Amino acid sequence: MRLYAVVAAGGFRRYATYRVATLAGVFTNTVFGFIMAYTYIALWDERPQLGGYDMSQALTYVWLGQALLMTCAMMGGGFEDELMERIRTGDVAVDLYRPADLQLWWLAGDLGRAAFHLLGRGIVPMVLGALAFDLAMPRSPWTWLAFLVSVGLGVVVSFGVRFLVALSAFWLMDGAGAMQIAWLAGLFFSGMMLPLTLFPGWLGDVARVLPWSSLLQVPADVFLGTYAGWDVLRAYAFQAGWAVVLLLVGRLLQSVATRRVVVQGG
């Protein structure tokens, strides 16, 4: 357990090293936040209460999206590039010899990364957004806490998906295609482009039960107070359910890969 805590801290520190990159990222998140906020204003001007959100809730949703984009790695950009590269080059053989579990090792590192991105790239755009627009911030500290738990679960679900994508490199060797499909689904079905409550008919129903809704839609709804009282537990159960399923499938795939696939030698 202590080992994984150290790995997580390492993940945090590793991303904290890139200060200029973080600043640049904050700038980009803010620019995109402004662009999206104005398109949402145009939309909600025409249709107030669209998708069950009022104007300030919709704007809050925009900035939550920018704050969680990197945290929940909706466009990828975490450990998966590195793991894929290690599988391609055969370096993964060394990882498999280590006295640590492959999946838990990368999960710990990714949690550290997510924690840094929440602080480093989440807070500043959110504050700037709140200064420029009238946002619907939760008043109760419990809502903030509930939100953080939901974000944590979202990160694990995100990890679960990306771990599967990375493992696909055992069979595909060049996983760029699989990775791209994964980030496309992540961007669209997380609700990053448009809240899933605005997706019409069956598309909306399907989008809401897919794992990606855990990355933004669910945490955002927790933040906006959509779940009354203990209903939050239902949202958690949904996220945790996907997390468990994805981690188990990842575990299965990992054992199949290590048993049946010959690792590339260099």
Partner 1 sequence: MAEVQVGRVAPVESDTAFAERSRLVEGVRAYGLIVTMWLRSTMAYRASFVMTTVGNFVSTAFDFITIMLMFAHVDMLGGFTLPEVALLYGTSATAFGLADLVLGSMDRLGRRVRDGTLDTLLVRPVPVLAQVAADRFALRRLGRITQGLLVLGYALLTLDIDWSPLKVVMLPLMVLSGAAIFGAVFVAGAAFQFYAQDASEVQSAFTYGGTTMLQYPPTVFAKDLVRGVTFVVPLAFVSWLPALYVLGRDYPLDLPQWVAFLPPVVAAGCWVLAGLVWRVGLRSYRSTGS
* 119/149 with CB nearer partner 1: 119
**Which of 68, 74, 77 has its CA nearest to residue 126?**
68
Among 3, 4, 9, 28, binds partner 1 (CB under 8 A): 28
Site for partner 1 contains 82 (CB under 8 A): no
147: amino acid identity, one letter? F
| Span 101-130, contacts to partner 1 by CB under 8 A | none
Q: Footprint of partner 1 on residues 152-191 (CB under 8 A)?
A: 172, 174, 176-178, 180-181, 183-184, 187-188
* Shortest Å distance, C-beta 90 to partner 1: 18
Among 99, 141, 200, 229, binds partner 1 (CB under 8 A): 200
Tell me: does residue 143 bind partner 1 (CB under 8 A): no
21 interacts with partner 1 by CB under 8 A: yes
Question: With binding defined as CB under 8 A, does residue 256 bind partner 1?
Answer: no
3-state secondary structure the chain: CHHHHHHHHHHHHHHHCCHHHHHHHHHHHHHHHHHHHHHHHHHHHHCCCHHHCCHHHHHHHHHHHHHHCCCCCCCCCCCHHHHHHHHHHCCHHHHHHCCCCHHHHHHHHHHHHHHHHHHHHHHHHHHHHHHHCCCCCCCCHHHHHHHHHHHHHHHHHHHHHHHHHHHCHHHHCCCHHHHHHHHHHHHHHCCCCCCHHHCCHHHHHHHHHCHHHHCCHHHHHHHCCCCCCCHHHHHHHHHHHHHHHHHHHHHHHHHHHHHHCCCCCC
Decide: residue 60, CB within 10 A, 0-12 exposed, 13-18 middle, 19+ buried. buried
- Letters for 34-73 (x = contact with partner 1 by CB under 8 A, - = none) are xx--xx-xxx--xx--x-----------------------
Instruction: Give how many residues touch partner 1 by CB under 8 A.
Output: 36
> Taking CB under 8 A as the rule, does residue 194 contact partner 1?
yes
CB of 148 to partner 1, least distance (A): 25
Put residue 73 in one of left, alpha, beta given phi > 0 → left and psi -120 to 50 → alpha: left
Q: To the nearest whole angstrom, how small is the minimum distance from the Cβ of residue 181 to partner 1?
A: 6
Residue 254 Cβ vs partner 1, minimum distance, rounded to whole Å: 23
15-23, 104-112, 161-169, 230-238 -> range binding partner 1 (CB under 8 A): 15-23
- Can residue 144 be called a binding residue for partner 1 (CB under 8 A)? no
Q: In the complex, which residues of this chain contact partner 1 (CB under 8 A)?
A: 18, 20-21, 23-25, 27-28, 31-32, 34-35, 38-39, 41-43, 46-47, 50, 172, 174, 176-178, 180-181, 183-184, 187-188, 193-194, 198-200
